[in-house]
Chains A and B, each alone.
Chain A
Amino acid sequence: MPVYKSPILILRCQDWSETSQIVHVLAREIGRLRCLAKGSKRGQNPFSGPLDRWTLGDAVFSQADPNRLATLMELYETERFDGIRRRLPAFYGASCITEIILTIVPDLEAQPAVFDLVVDGLRLLAAVEVEACRAVTLTLVWRLLALLGYVPRLDQCAECGAAISLESPLNFSSGLGGPVCGNCHPPGRIHHLTAKAAQAIAFLLSAGWDEVRRVRLTEATADLIRGLLSARIEELAGRKLSALRYV
């Protein structure tokens, strides 16, 4: 049976029995997968205690068949992002990111860049001031979508490629995941964005994290961005996100 080693991030834990858990993980070298952690709830186990969401560690696991559960054999915890468990906005932000990974990141496709982005993002969420959690979370969601190829360029029409200015209000197609010019009418919902909201999205996609953590989004801009993300992810996943409304 093939044995793999990889840094993993635990996304979700479910009780499997009195003593074991099923854990959904994002493995840097393998992608998203589900593992059976036998005996993880026993006092003495090879995982150093019961497994919990938002634990980062070096794991060893085996998987005989990609269509079946892998078996988590060992986990050495390296980080727990304690700050996420101590501030409610950070908790909501991390929940939102996790739900998106569980919803749109494909199974068993190694995406080291996605893994690194998510880990860096959780680290930031655990450390930033409460007031910055919303901007950091929304930035992470946009960048995650962009990394997965679901956000086209913002300065050109997602349908015909014509140049688009962010200096004036624009139409955003949730089906195409980008702005559309006045001549294009793609199927699906069209959202009208103010120039300020469009510039905010462009900023969140390109700014350094130090700049992002200083951003304080107004309720109206945050609402617009949340609505846009919600519609885009609904198009991709076929269902609404639950956690986004708490961000």
Chain B
Amino acid sequence: MDAYTESMERLIVALGKLPGIGRRSAERMAFYLLDADKDEVDALAESLHDLKTKVGRCSECGSMAEGERCAICASDRRDRSRLCVVEKPKDVIRIEATGGYNGLYHVLGGLLAPMDGVGPEHLDLDRLAARVAAGEIQEVILALSPTAEGDGTALAVAERLKAYKLHVTRLARGLPTGATLDYANPGMLSDALRGRQNVDESES
């Protein structure tokens, strides 16, 4: 568009490629950055640059890391007998935010989706099996979404690990906290019934 300078147009096009950002929102952001302090814009540019140059994958768990290993894998205060298997690095952040888990993680890098050509060979199962084979891990917790693809992935992981003597568990499923029974579907209710717990255990 002729009304914009070349740099401005380039920025608008770049911002417009971000998820959920259309041309109008991109224009608004570009004008904000044009008016912002130079230090603020420099800091943004530097963090964007660092994101692509410094952040990589942890060689152990596959989550985000700046360096060879992530802070969780490098920590000597984590429980190394437990391994939580998740789909993507963002799930590690979610589980860490609960403050209720102190073990290690393993990021699969996706979910089993045979219809889209994603089979078990496309998930990071070899490295998972190697970590389990090392012998320190006693429990593997499958923290995958309770969707068809999440369930399929859990089956594929369990299949891969069945040769090892370890406790494989999955996250509880059923009613979300705060939901009412009126809005629960039969699947949720049957999961909740299957996974019911004693009242005096519910706080543990």
Contacts and interface: CB of A to CB of B under 8 A. Distances in A.
A52 B148 CA distance: 7
A80 B187 contact: yes
B148 A85 contact: yes
B152 A43 contact: no
A232 to B, nearest CB: 18
Contacts of B147: 13, 50, 52-53
Contacts of B186: 48, 77, 80
Interface stretch (B34-42, B74-82, B115-123): B115-123
Contacts of A87: 155
A50 B152 CA distance: 18
Contacts of B114: 91-92, 95-96, 99, 242-243, 246
A205 B73 CA distance: 54
Interface string B75-119: 000000000000000000000000000000000000011111101
B184 A48 contact: yes
Nearest to B116: A242
Interface in A41-90: 43-45, 47-50, 52-55, 77, 80, 82, 84-88
Nearest to A100: B115
Contact of A43 (B117, B159, B179): B179
A182 to B, nearest CB: 38
Contacts of A242: 114-117
B181 to A, nearest CB: 11
B184 A49 contact: yes
A43 B185 contact: no
Interface residues of A, number: 32
B195 interface: no
A98 B115 contact: yes
B115 A49 contact: no
A87 B151 CA distance: 9
Given A53-B147, A53-B148, A86-B155, A77 B179 contact: no
Given A52-B148, A91-B151, A77 B187 contact: yes
Contacts of B115: 12, 95-96, 98-99, 102, 242-243
Interface in A5-42: 12-13
Nearest to A12: B115
A12 B176 CA distance: 23
Contacts of A88: 152, 155-156, 159
> Which of B112, B116, B185 has the most C-beta atoms of chain A within 10 angstroms of its own C-beta?
B185
A47 B186 CA distance: 11
Interface in B119-158: 119, 147-149, 151-152, 155-156
B180 interface: yes
B183 interface: yes
A43 B184 CA distance: 9
A44 B176 CA distance: 11
A86 to B, nearest CB: 7
A80 B147 CA distance: 11
Contacts of B176: 43
Given A44-B180, A87-B155, A88-B159, A246 B188 contact: no
B152 A91 contact: yes
Nearest to B154: A85
Given A49-B188, A80-B187, A243-B115, A54 B148 contact: yes
Interface string A221-247: 000000000000000000000110110
Contact of A246 (B119, B180, B190): B119
A95 B111 CA distance: 13
18 contacts: A13-B147, A43-B178, A44-B183, A47-B185, A52-B147, A53-B148, A53-B149, A80-B186, A85-B155, A86-B155, A88-B152, A91-B112, A95-B115, A95-B152, A99-B115, A242-B114, A242-B117, A246-B119
9 A-B pairs with the lowest CB-CB distances in the bound complex, closest first: A48-B185, A243-B114, A85-B151, A242-B117, A53-B148, A95-B114, A99-B115, A91-B152, A88-B155
